[in-house]
Structure 1
Amino acid sequence: MDKLRYPIGKFLKPEIITSQTLMQWIDSIESFPERLNKEVSGLTERELHKQYRPEGWTIKQLVHHCADSHMNSFIRFKLALTEETPIIKPYFENLWAALPDANQLPTTSSLDLLSGLHRRWTSLLKSLSAEDLKRQFIHPETNERTSLETNIGIYAWHGNHHLAHIVNAKKSDDATE
């Protein structure tokens, strides 16, 4: 089950985050909307309701979740850049994925959103100084401090993680009705 849940493994923060690693992560974030669009374009409604694992989200929910999650992350970056170690607002992603927009709206609404969002986000990421990259936010559920450079890696991983879910779901015979 863990292989289905984490098909590319869990995010592992490198001991040292080099500028080359950061650029690879930013490139991954920048290309994510195009790669996602390539995976889901042309899928039928039935195919969009395939799940990557039992009790898992559908492809449609995954696409909408990525838009929700990446909007939240973009805002967290801006908060960390404009406030001193802000406490971020968490959200219940499972509940968001169950809302009507995540189940009924076409994926194009989130694909369009991700395209514009990632253009802005990567522009911001490419402009960050070494000092900016060390800025942090606090997650209130764990009281952990996360640096922006680490969060870039987390979101490069996040996109690739859900792309792998979509690839696996497309191979599945299971679709929710």
Structure 2
Amino acid sequence: MTDDASVAAAAAHIEAREGGIDVLINNAGVFGTHNPADQITATDASEVFEVNVVGIVRVTHAFLPLLRTSAHPVIVNVSSGMGSFAATHDAERVESRNLAPLYTASKAAVTMLTTQYAKSWPDVKVNAADPGYTATDFNGHSGPQTVTEGTDAIVELATIGPDGPTGTFRDRHGEMAW
């Protein structure tokens, strides 16, 4: 995600082997520092945004020509409810109780990038998915959802047909407020 040459080599390998792809799932994310907001530096921000946002741009740019070989190309960007303004302001939701300035800002950027890509490429279905608070290495397996539950929205969006949605943000329960 962070190296142009590596991403280009991966795209070239897949093109040589497969000729194209139907679905691209951008699923990379780093949390970044756990420092309080007043101790976060520009370097900290650069490290998080380089993976979580710039990485999606890099990979999407490299793989878009391969996607365009498909009759029904689909991109799913894995975002987070922690990047939702609605969820982070809803006291009933777990997202409102977590302070993670860089992670949340980067995931809000992922969701906005998704809408802009969807508007820019009417021939490609581009959506964002929130896996939710899923028990993974990312959170020390503290999430209440299984990995299968966490991938429900990703799989649903990856397998949409040509009349499926584009520019949406979903979790396993349906469309999410931004």
Larger helix share, 1 or 2: 1
TM-score > 0.5 by shorter chain = no
Q: Give the TM-score, by structure 1 length.
A: 0.29
Q: Give the TM-score, by structure 2 length.
A: 0.29
Higher relative contact order (CA 8 A, sep 6+): 1
Larger strand share, 1 or 2: 2
